[in-house]
Amino acid sequence: MIKVYGDIMLDRWIVGEANRMSPEAPVPVLLEDHQEWSIGGAGNLALNIKSLGSTVTLISVTGHDKEGYKLQELLLKQNLECQMAGDQDVTTTKTRLVAKGGQHIVRWDREVQYTGDQANDRLETYIKKNDIICVSDYAKGTVRRDTVANLLSKEAKILVDPKQDANFYHGAYLVKPNMAEYEAWFGKWNQADALRQMQRHSWTWLVVTDGANGMHVLNILDEYKHFSEPVKEVADVTGAGDTVMAVIAYGIDKGMDIFDACKLACYAAARIVEKRGVAIIQQDDLERNIVWTNGVFDILHTGHLKLLRHAHTLGKRLVVGINSDSSVKRLKGDLRPINGQEKRKEALLELGFVDDVVIFEEDTPYNVIKEIQPDVIVKGGDYTTDTVVGNDIAKVEIFPIIEGYSTTESIEKIRQQQDPRHNQVAFKGHR
């Protein structure tokens, strides 16, 4: 059983037109069109876990105000099992004024620090031995310094999304700060120092999320892995932290290895930030099924397009690796590439069946493949399975050569047409 404990809040969006400035002050005037409401904080984490199919109970506190009643109404509609205290003075509410098109004008927060006892009393009442406890702490007063200690006495497995001092979470099984929070605690990330801090605070696992740089995962045995996932386009990072914690908790609940759970969480978070608004993780978002192919792709031709279209049919996401400009020059000579890496990347992303493009500096993409961990690698018929970089990591599929299409030959023909006296330049490779 998974229990979520922490600060719940109400998220409200007031959406409208903002096409004129106020005569009273240099601020836009928002003409309200409609309002939207959603469950935030610990409630959003609980909803994400429930969406993945795990049984979850939310333990938190609301106020006896209209925002609290609205929050209770939303929780009831979601059919989420709750144990809610009602001794909060004010329900934490975050109101965003948003112009149509998504432009945020201002955020207005309404909150009062919680000092009551009912939330902690309910926590101690409903926690059972071997429960997985996700502590969703936003520093609103629900999570106290003795909270984790009380949970440890119940022999529960405690996962923490922190906002307060590291000492608040002494003895937790897993702690998940973002990089800014980690550096505020301990300074610049360093694996050896991170291990010392884990020993000092009696943590078994430390997961540090680092935005586009992925996540660092370290356990008390000094076993370390770094995970990252390419993102086609960041639409909204709101809720990405809840996604990570929800998938890790789900993974533990299903008996997954923690590293595997974190790898899956990293992938799921990358999919969530591609969606606009606060998105709830779905089972479909956990289906990695990544296909990889790579090359220079200096001039896209029919052979490339046929290979890429085929690769797209083999999985859920197609990630294409391209050699950096410096890498191309080392492999194919100073006259290449014809198009710079950013233009090559842009051209590939314009294809509807390419989900992301990764530029790698090395002569081979082995390190990138090792980090992304694709399920399938697709290469052209001039390769064999044994010669494909990454064949020890993923299944390899060889796509037959399309005769009559070669980037090198195309470039040479263009050069000769431009100058018939041009002596052929010996290009290394053909892609």
Kindly list the catalytic residues: 242
> Residues 6 or more apart from 29 whose CB is under 8 A from it?
18, 20, 21, 22
Helix or strand holding residue 44 (H, E): helix 42-51
Q: DSSP label at 363?
A: S
What burial class does residue 257 get, using C-beta atoms within 10 Å of its C-beta: 0-12 exposed, 13-18 middle, 19+ buried? exposed
Task: With beta carbons less than 8 A apart as the criterion, state whether 215 and 244 touch.
Answer: yes
For 310-356, the DSSP string reads HHHTTSSEEEEEEE-HHHHHHHH-TT--SS-HHHHHHHHHTSTT--E
| Cβ-count burial 28-54 (b if 16+ within 10 Å, e if not) | bebeeeeeeebbbbbbbbbbbbbbbeb
Q: Tokens for 19?
A: 């096409």
CB atoms within 10 A of CB 358: 18
Distances (CA, A) of 310 to 96, 305, 352: 44, 8, 13
| Cβ-count burial 287-315 (b if 16+ within 10 Å, e if not) | ebebbbbbbbbbbbbebbeebbebbbebb
